[in-house]
Chains A and B, each alone.
Chain A
Amino acid sequence: MFAPHSQLSPRRRSNLWITLAATGLSLLTLQAAAGPKVDFRRDVEPVLVKRCSECHGQDKQKGGLRLDLKSAALKGGKSGKPAVTPGHAPMSAMIERIQSTDPDEVMPSKGERLTPEQIAVLTAWIEQGADWPENEARRHWAFQKPERPTPPAVKDAAWVRNEIDRFVLARLEQEGLHPQVEADRATLLRRLSLDLTGLPPTWDEVQAFIKDSSPTAYEAAVDRLLASPHYGEHMARGWLDLARYADSNGYQVDLARSIWPYRDWVIRAFNENKRFDQFTIDQLAGDLLPNPTADQRIATGFNRNTKINDEGGGDAEEYRVKAVKDRLATFGTAWLGLTLNCAECHSHKYDPISHEEYYRLYAFFNNTTDGGNYSSAPNLGVPSPDRRRILAHLEAASKSARSQLAAAEKTLAARQSEWERRTRRVGDVWKTLPLVKPNSTGGSSYTNLPDGSLLATGVNPIYDTITVESETDLTGITAVMLEVLPDPSLPKNGPGRWGQTGNFILDEFGVSAAPRIGPAPAETNLVMVRARADWEQQYYRAEHAIDRNPKTGWAIGPKFGERHFLIAEFKEPAGFAGGSKLSFRFDHYHGNSHCVGRFRISVTREKDPNALWPVPSEVREALPIPLARRDAAVNAKIAAWYRTADPELRQWEREVARLDQRLQEIPKEKATTLVMQERSEPTPRVTHIHNRGNFLDPGREVTAGVPEAFPPLPAVAVTNRLALARWLVSGDNPLTARVAVNRHWEHTFGTGIVKTSEDFGRQGEVPSHPALLDWLASEFVRSGWDTKALQKLLVMSATYRQSAAADPVRLEKDFYNRLLSRGPRFRMDGEMIRDQALAVSGLLNPEVGGPSVYPVQIPNLWKEIGFLRPEIGMDEWPVSEGPELYRRGVYTFWRRVCTYPTFATFDAPSREVCVARRPRTNTPLQALAGLNDPTLLEAARAFAQRVLTEGGGTTTQQVEFAFRTCLGRVPSVSESARLRAFLDQQLRSYQSDRKSAAALIAVGTAVRPASLDPSRLAAWMMVANVLFNLDETLTKG
């Protein structure tokens, strides 16, 4: 359903209608001809499209009548009466039928009657001569090949630096506006650096630029920035939004995928200034080139960024078809600026793409081997990335952990004797509970064993929820221990009941408490805050049993057939004076009889979490014997056991093991990427039209081809994706170059010459400077699709170099700067805001390329939204370490169901589908992210360290250093004074509250020199926080 997009201001439109309607229908034909002029596109076509075209359009012609073509409407349908007789509404069948009161006659036959206003408009239009541009759709400007226009003459020729300026200035002069003055050099360099690399200039660069008075200084800066490896990273981001590049499969499960080599290919392509025609061909059809290189195959990942369904029950063909249609929609948006997908169910109602032509384009993409269900094949192995930096970090970390471990070894004896003393005093902290009233929803039975455990017998249900009760007089219960025990009667000796291994998966473990006598409180479930186990299977952690997420659980593979235990601590001590009824619940949702087979439950009142690790009875019994009287064997046994339980040792052993594992894994990591692969069958997969877009309702068979409104495909042997890609960049396509240059314009100036950069069709907005768009498009083709030359052309213009300052006249006449009466100024993307903070703080890791990374994030990011699927490899956001925390935003792991929060807050898309431009909102949640995002806070701390170590000896110097490092300019006197006042205020506060200072500067893991005074550092960190949140910092201007 297409609602008409009004081309008129509402007020003007309603005036027209009111005037027409007020004349009264009977008099209308007399007066309408003299009334306000009706415009076909604005007033008539929307009504025809919305109310008539379904039955009388390109796809269907009821009664032999078409109302989408002038010639057909003049001829009429089978009745022989013209639907439209120009100048004579009463002789037009259309008017007769829409006014009819006979329910069998009145049109439209479906839905409500046309409104009196609509009838009045159609009548007036016919009376006025039925002005109806034949073939309106094809005559739309965007379907005409751009002619290279001559840049117009201007009055102020001295202002002009290149051709762009002539087009812009001519328009400004026409509107009575003057260009703004050129921005000062510091502003210019910051603008240039942010536009070309996404990173701010260093102060040295600013200084050098200001001092360089040569006429080529500006161009030299442009060339330097275009040659930076960070240029490609920055330019790639916009293309990756279009390419819907993400690191996960999408849909409900949204598993991780490896396609980052494609992302790196895009970055390289920009950096190497790959010609845009080759850039196009490689991505759309690199696999079909003769002897394609690995790079050309990696490039085809563009079309493998489609979603893949990982959940059961999906129809494989359905998801494959969805992926093909997504490729078509993306192809349309990215290269043609057209909404091809509008023709999926019926012919496009505004643009010249018929339903059949849509499926002819579909056929190009319908001949690859990939599916859309479960599998990401085909994949391509690619050379391993350079991981030296992270390996060096891990080696250093491992060395440091080993020395910590050695230090802990040295003090082990002291900790053991402290522990012995304590344990002797307290005894066994655990009290085993007698278990009664076992109940299994799945129908198993239970036997009480003498050691207090329960053994499951009988029915072995596939799913089961077990509850069991106990009573106790204990109060102040701090934790519960669940022991799972082996038993010969269980499969493979247990402790679980899964036939193949004896494993179990405890999805949820719950405890509730009520007083033995008297009413139960409203909430009896006890909240558990931490769970630990002696052993956890990979991805099945103890925490998962208490996370209230039924999809995750604790399991013990591969250590089957042994005793294991899980200790869960309560948030608040439990137990009622006068005794409590406790109830324990085991949820097994996993299926396949993954239920616990034998278990025992104990509770404790011990408050020290470090004292909870259960002590074996033989160790406990030996403890009361005075040390002198114990024999060496007993001592050795105790020491050996204590060694396994010592929290400090365990912590460092785990860390060493983890680091060693990472050090071993990383060099072995195989890099792969998703690629396109044509089917090997001799004939292409047959394509049918999908009636009403439904793939289960195939219509006519069609072959690959391009819409008639476009130039034909070049004569080639095989009509495949390669032919289509070459057709796009043949130079004859009216849209490819326009759409591409418009995107660069939007990137640089904030808004495209065509504001709707995703839609150049008749529903899009018309260009603000049509001739300029065409000139740029022809220049782009003429230059050999030279992207860097195009980008350079834009930033070399006087238009670009204007100051961004607005004044009343400019705001009055050019509020949104569509006329370019001042320089571009707009809020940066979330990635840029983060990159900038890392850059000025000195934390930025400038490495280019490699697997995606996981910067610091709030805990439980995925769990909170219910997207944790550890059992199939999607565990919690695995925070990276060391230098990988400070990579540029373009390398952040992009999960479609949960875009990195700070990027999403600043309007990053989910990348589930192609997005041509991000909105640019300005919201309180952005302010909160700017003030409190942990990475930005860590950067503020590191920036403060820089100020204190590099910023000079006096506070005045430091204030200036901080300001100019962040903003690339020297502060005004008043700005300096305000920052200075703020600093003094903060300093006083943190000097009198050193505890807060220590807490503030504890953020993050980046190195902090011990020599810096914590209060000073905290105060400066607050100054950095202010600087990072200034509008000027968040804005390119």
Chain B
Amino acid sequence: MNLPFELDLERKRFLSRRWFFRDCGVGLGSIALASLLGEGSAMAASTLAPAPRPMGTNPLAPKNPHFKGRAKSVIYLFMAGAPSQLELFDYKPSLAKYDGKPVPKEILGGQTYAFIKPDSAIYAPEFKFAQHGKSGAWMSEALPALAGVADELTIIRSMTTDAFNHAPGQIFMNTGSQQFGRPSLGAWVTYGLGSVSQDLPGFVVMNSAGGLSGGAGNYGAGFLPTVYQGVQFRKGADPVLYLSNPAGMSGSLQRKTLDAVRDLNERRLGTIGDPEIATRINAFEMAYRMQTSAPELMDLSKESPETLAMYGAEPGKASFANNCLLARRLVERGVRHVQLFHEAWDHHSDVKAGVKTQAGITDKPCAALIRDLKQRGLLDSTLVVWGGEFGRTPQVEASMELGRSLGRDHHPQAFTMWMAGGGSKAGATVGETDEFGFNVVRDRVHVHDLHATIMHLLGFDHEKLTFRFQGRDYRLTDVHGQVIQSLLA
């Protein structure tokens, strides 16, 4: 006998006794709901790895991690396209000093780039930098709002990745592999923890700019059950597919439909006694609640004018600011993982204007999100992560052919990300790059390490949260990853 079978037995004992002998037909809904919501937790807690749950139960029931984690939910602000760390966080005065001069050979090594020649001229940062907060974190003038919450951030200046093109880079950052078809971070988190919210999807995705280079694989479930894949909230009235009743069917008629379905299903349960029927009855009830809770969630009109102003959000419009506010509302309602994609940072040309525009769009909402989570007491339990798929070159990108000038190319060796809340170390700046920002020289944090650290903050041993597929126990970090202690509070 193996573990899943063993768990089956345990579940069997629990269900058959409590449910059948005592409760069948009496208070059925509440008991079935308890079996959906509660009973999974105790079992999962007694094992190291949450076992593949018996199929047919609610796979999104909340589960306990390996140990008590600080973070209960994640908001990942994915700055797709790759923002320039040299215009935002990684202050390199030497770039200004050597502006226009070729890069010293010894620094270059054998590096190749997507578009530029490695010996392209050094390019001075386009923005002024200053230190902020008690922690003295360096940030550029492009991020005035974020500077105001500098002491909440863990700035990682020593990120490094393996991929230097957008699609593989995004897929790598989100799934730990450059191959398509692996589960995304959010899918792993939801697989491991389930979701507290039972009337909203456990893993929600929103997009506020261009289409994603890496596509839906960035929030896919890979080989995990599809129930763990990110549900992309759609623009418009129906954030979830098939959420709205068809034209001509009012909410009250829908309710009557569900009542009839439930009554007939309960009769069937009485005859057939298959516990799966009870699960289905509850799935329909959850769907009904989702029909109310999802539109309620999307409706920002009840937020105070101060809150709206803080984010720069406007009810009824689609924007990054609105998405940040929605992210808070989702987390508040128990959604486990929220991922915002903003693909707008690929500044091969005119990095100054590009960063200025995008920082203009994102700076205030990001800072507002942190303040808002904090004032509501949610920051401790919510891990906010900000970053792109790689960084940008210290050299200039310019090409008559491509119509580009004063831009920066892709740079995987060194870039900056930040985290806030959820047990990350507030007011810390971790890692350092060389004089020109080419390479990491201290406290390198690889993508796998970041993933291991995020999992740790959620209460998982990243080596033990696994899923068996094609005979192998896969995990987010593949065979790599170290928890970076200096990022932890």
Contacts and interface: CB of A to CB of B under 8 A. Distances in A.
Nearest to A981: B260
A927 B287 contact: yes
Nearest to B341: A866
B452 to A, nearest CB: 13
Contact of A1000 (B56, B199, B246, B319): B246
B473 A1 contact: yes
Contact of B2 (A5, A311, A758, A1035): A5
B26 interface: no
A846 to B, nearest CB: 27
Interface in A897-934: 897-898, 901, 904-905, 907-909, 912-913, 919-929, 931-934
Nearest to A762: B471
Interface in B187-239: 198-199, 201, 207, 210-217, 225-227, 231-232, 234-235
Interface in B1-43: 1-6, 8-9, 11-13, 15-17, 20-21
Of A921, A934, A999, A1003, most buried by chain B (CB within 10 Å of CB) is: A921
Interface string A289-306: 000000000000000000
Contacts of A979: 260, 264
Contact of B234 (A825, A826, A864, A898): A864
Interface stretch (A775-783, A949-957, A1025-1033): A1025-1033
B279 A925 contact: no
A1018 B268 CA distance: 26
A912 B469 CA distance: 14
A919 B225 contact: yes
B248 A1018 contact: yes
A937 B242 CA distance: 11
B176 interface: no
Interface in B372-414: 401-404
- Interface residue range, chain B: 35 or more
Contacts of B201: 925
A597 to B, nearest CB: 16
A523 B312 CA distance: 10
Given A342-B472, A815-B11, A1029-B261, A932 B232 contact: no
Given A550-B210, A816-B54, A1022-B249, A7 B2 contact: yes
Contacts of B15: 811, 815
A464 interface: yes
Contacts of B314: 522-523
18 contacts: A441-B350, A463-B404, A523-B314, A806-B273, A811-B15, A867-B216, A904-B226, A912-B181, A921-B56, A925-B287, A929-B241, A929-B242, A932-B242, A932-B243, A1025-B257, A1031-B265, A1031-B276, A1032-B264
Given A897-B215, A978-B260, A1031 B280 contact: yes
A968 interface: no
A313 B165 contact: yes
A865 B283 contact: no
B93 interface: no
B463 A975 contact: no
B303 interface: no
Nearest to A909: B226
A922 B257 contact: no
A734 interface: no
Interface of A: 1-3, 5-11, 250-252, 311, 313, 329, 333, 338-339, 341-342, 350-351, 441-443, 461-464, 522-523, 548-551, 758-759, 761, 763-765, 804-808, 811-812, 815-816, 825-827, 858, 864-867, 897-898, 901, 904-905, 907-909, 912-913, 919-929, 931-934, 937, 972, 974-975, 978-979, 982, 985-986, 989, 995-1003, 1018, 1022, 1025-1026, 1029-1032, 1034-1035, 1037
Contacts of B401: 462
B256 interface: yes
Nearest to B479: A1
A333 B281 CA distance: 36
Contacts of A3: 49, 463-464, 466, 473, 475
Q: Do most interface residues of chain A lie in helix, strand or loop, or is the interface mixed? A: loop
A866 B167 CA distance: 13
Contacts of B296: none
B271 interface: yes
Interface stretch (B57-65, B331-339, B417-425): B57-65
Given A339-B471, A864-B234, 8 more contacts: A816-B54, A866-B207, A919-B227, A923-B58, A925-B242, A1025-B257, A1030-B268, A1032-B268
A1022 B253 contact: yes
Nearest to A940: B246
B472 A805 contact: no
Contacts of B210: 548-550, 866
A932 B210 CA distance: 29
4 nearest CB pairs, A to B:
A339-B471, A866-B211, A1000-B248, A815-B12
Interface string B55-75: 111111000000000000000
Contact of B267 (A764, A812, A901, A972): A972
B46 A805 contact: no
Nearest to A351: B471
Contacts of B290: 924, 928
A339 B470 contact: yes
B473 A985 contact: no
B122 to A, nearest CB: 23
Nearest to B210: A550
Contact of B12 (A1, A2, A816, A1001): A816
Given A11-B46, A251-B180, A932 B244 contact: yes
B471 A928 contact: no
B257 A1022 contact: yes
A2 B473 contact: yes
B215 A867 contact: yes
Contacts of B3: 5-10
Contacts of B17: 812
Given A3-B466, A807-B273, A1022-B257, A865 B215 contact: yes
A3 B241 CA distance: 37
A146 to B, nearest CB: 22
A487 B242 CA distance: 50
A986 B249 CA distance: 10
A761 B471 contact: yes
A1000 B253 CA distance: 12
Given A904-B226, A932-B244, A1031-B268, A10 B470 contact: no
Contact of B264 (A815, A825, A975, A989): A975
Given A462-B403, A812-B12, A311 B167 contact: yes
Contacts of B299: none
Contact of A928 (B20, B58, B242): B242
Contacts of B234: 864
A1001 B248 CA distance: 8
B473 A5 contact: yes
Nearest to A816: B8
Given A3-B464, A9-B3, A985-B256, A523 B248 contact: no
Nearest to A345: B479
B260 A1026 contact: yes
A333, A462, A815, most chain B CB atoms within 10 A: A815
A351 B216 CA distance: 35
Contacts of B213: 252
B121 to A, nearest CB: 20
Contacts of A864: 232, 234-235
A1007 B248 CA distance: 19
Contact of B257 (A251, A925, A1026): A1026
A1001 B167 CA distance: 44
Interface string B295-324: 000000000000000001010010100000
Contacts of B211: 549-551, 866
Contacts of B20: 808, 811
B145 interface: no
Contact of B248 (A11, A551, A998): A998
Nearest to A997: B248
Contacts of B249: 996, 1000, 1022
